[in-house]
Structure 1
Amino acid sequence: MPYSRPTLAELVNRVRSGVISRLAQDEVLRRADAEVYARVMAGVTHGLYGFIDWLSRQVIYDTAEGEILERWASIWGVTRKPAAAATGTVTLTGLTGAVVPAGSPLQALDGVQYLTVAEVTFTTTSAVVSVAASVPAAASNRATGQTLTLVNPVPGVQPAGVASALVGGSDEETDDALRTRLIDRIQTPPHGGSSADYRAWALEVPGVTRAWCYPLELGPGTVTVRFMRDDDSGSAIPDAGEVAAVQTYINNLRPVTAQVTVVAPVAAPLNFTIAVSPNTAAVKAAVTAELADLIRREAEPGGTLLLSHIRAAISAAAGENNYVMTVPSADVASPVGTITTLGTITWV
């Protein structure tokens, strides 16, 4: 039978009853010593119950959190993925001979700052400067064409520059994600290059949220690995640099005889046509969120997204009373190498 933790009010009543019974009193005034004792002792006891309740969740790794979860994970050689800084280039305009020192800060319109990686000297009226985010985070990713401005004036250089795509930034791995990888490691221990090993290796790279392994896809002795970066601010499909990072990481771990190819899945946007009731912005947002969550959980390269699961996701949306979906009208199968992503929802 599960233990039921007493509430603060129940503890107050218990202590009050005990004090009154020992003082041989039938009732106590609100500010009498007995009432004060009861509330103070109950408050302390309630805090101890809370600590013990928290501690009981730390002794098992599937409910542990924070530093204790990291300690559990370290026993199996699983470490929390650190935050990563976005990198890319910025094109600046200036006078020939002008010098941009290494470590010069540039700032985006939302306040996120980047630092120049190396000193650059203008040989023409423009120069391409490599930059990296000063604070590692997913928020440091940028789409092509955004403006970065030099925080400190540099002689002979215009303050505003145009950035290329700044990519590779990711937040520190959450407890939930670390816990999932730890349980996967326990339930599927390494086997010297099994499919589960390649998936686990890809997931160890910062920013990678999903990964799949396809043995023999390119012939005998070959292994193909595909992965996604769902928490990136832009596209979840990895770019060439992110693919290269995973390739390099796996190359250092794979069996020497395996020919491993890491590639990005090809996005196959899935469009929907839905009439929902009630037809409100809140319900539409809830349906969109449920569909996005379903696709993230169940879509995989070369896999099939079941129509029944799509319908169940819409029905699970908060506030939804009824709906009619005309597109899609059947299970959605993805060709080899492509993955279903959320497309456009047409509301009718």
Structure 2
Amino acid sequence: MDLRDAAYAAIEAIPGADARLRFAVLNALAVMTAGAADGLYGYLEWISKQILPDQAEEEFLERHASLWLPGGRKVATSASGLVTVSGIDGTVVPAGTIFIRSDGIQYASQADATVAAGAASVSVQATSAGQSTNAVMGQSLALVTPVAGLQSTAAVGVSGLSNGADKESDDDLRARLLQRLQQPPDGGSATDYVRWALSVSGVTRAWVAPLELGANTVVVRFVRDDDASIIPDAAEVAAVQAYIDSVRPVTAEVTVVAPVAMPVNYQIQLTPSSVAVRAAVEAELRDLILREGIPGGTLLLSHIREAISIAAGETDHVLVSPAANVAAPVGQLAVFGSITWM
């Protein structure tokens, strides 16, 4: 309306011109001009959101990230590890042998393996990528094509199949990019080590402990919140160690380790104690630990009570346990355990 009125006024500045006659050519010209201007203003507003990364859409967010973050968006990765096959001694499991899981995820062997003492450990990697390619110890796989001398089924080894991760989401990429802009590299500062750890696919949170093991030492701990277990396994720790070793200052002695999970269990008397309110309380407590849990940190009792109080539907509660602040020893990380409803 404002743009059309401005077009009317501009046309009617010409002596004798009347742009407000409904079927007049000047009226149509004013409406068309206002419509074109509205489109241009809308485009300019959209552009204004793309030039800065805090509001940029996917295409432009990735472009910003490619300029500031090594490698840009973290890509999806494939799980890998060992599977155990059984068969006749001397039977060779050739590289490229395909194993399939019941949900259709396939894994290819990476090198020849020979059966000895009735079994062989075969190194495999998923043929697709994503967090769904991870597998736990003992999970059953089947041979896609039979191999003479081998049983048709195999089992995931004791270390599982790990390192599978989904493509980084827009929100996570934006958070990493803003951290990079707000906390630029500083020659190996604490924030640098956190940023390096977060650069590895699958890593969602990381912490650094300078001098924990003595002079010139740095200890880095991290978790993978999107995995079945947030605590990384040996292969995932090794991947982060390798990346940080490739970018760290040469004088630093860096040790990457997995935090030790310290479950926090709750006893709560809740009013009202409906299924919906219980679920809301649990969601708030999980979110609290996600936000405030750090290795060796303290979960404040007042914050626990606050989390319960702000749960949708809660009108009153008595927190029986914990009865004091929850302090995690060095290297241990508070994680959600269980709730006993009183």
Superposed pair shares fold, TM > 0.5? yes
Match among 286, 291, 302 for residue 297 of structure 1: 291
2:234 is aligned to 240
After TM superposition, the structure 1 = structure 2 runs for residues 192-203 of structure 1, keeping only pairs within 5 Å, are: 192-203=187-198
1:137 matched to which residue of 2?
130
Q: How far off its partner does 1:226 sit?
A: 1.1
Report the CA distance shift for 1:304/1:128 in structure 2 as closer, same or farther (over 3 A).
same
Match for residue 99 of structure 1? 92
Number of the residue aligned with 2:212: 217
Structure 2 equivalent of residue 268 of structure 1: 262
Q: Does 1:110 align with 2:103?
A: yes
Q: Which amino acid aligns with 1:290?
A: E
Secondary structure at the residue paired with 1:317? coil
Cα distance per residue 1:109-148 (max 9 Å; x no partner): 2222212112223344221111111111111112211101
Residue of structure 2 in register with 1:120 after alignment: 113
- Structure 1 residue 322 and structure 2 residue 305: aligned? no
Q: CA 1:321–1:111 in 2, change beyond 3 Å: closer, same or farther?
A: farther
Alpha-carbon separation, structure 1, partners of 2:98 and 2:276 = 41
Q: Percent identity?
A: 54
Match of 1:157 in 2: 150
SS at match of 1:252: helix
For 1:63, the equivalent position in structure 2 comes to: 55
Distance change in 2, residues 1:180/1:121 (3 Å): same
Q: Classify 1:50/1:267 alpha carbon distance in 2 versus 1 (closer, same or farther; 3 Å).
A: farther
Judging changes above 3 Å, is the alpha-carbon distance between structure 1 residues 135 and 50 closer, same or farther for their aligned structure 2 residues?
farther
Work out the CA distance in 2 between the residues paired with 1:154 and 1:50: 63
Q: CA deviation at 1:298?
A: 1.0
Q: Aligned partners of 2:42, 2:92: CA distance in 1, in Å?
A: 59
Q: Shift of residue 221 of structure 1?
A: 1.2
Question: Partner residue of 1:82?
Answer: 75
| 1:343, distance to aligned residue in structure 2 (A) | 0.8
Let me know the Cα RMSD of the aligned residues.
2.6
Task: Specify the alignment match of 1:256 in structure 2.
Answer: 250
Measure the CA separation in 1 of the matches of 2:142 and 2:21.
74
Task: Give, in whole Å, the separation in 2 of the partners of 1:231 and 1:52.
Answer: 38
> In the alignment, does 2:303 pair up with 1:309?
yes
Alignment TM-score, normalising by the size of structure 1:
0.82
Partner Cα distance (1:289, 1:74) in 2? 35
**Equivalence for 2:7:** none
Structure 1: unaligned runs, 5 residues or longer: 1-19, 25-37
Partner residue, 2:222: 227
Give 3-state SS (helix, strand or coil) of 2:334's partner: strand
Aligned to 1:171: 166
Q: Which runs of 5+ in 2 are unaligned?
A: 1-19, 25-30
Give the Cα separation in 1 of the matches to 2:293 and 2:186. Answer: 26
Q: Provide the aligned length of Structure 1 versus Structure 2.
A: 314
Q: Cα–Cα, structure 1 residues 21 and 347, in superposed 2: closer, same or farther, change >3 Å?
A: farther
Residues 243-302 of structure 1: CA deviation (Å, up to 9, x unaligned): 121111111111111111111111111100112233232322222222112111111011
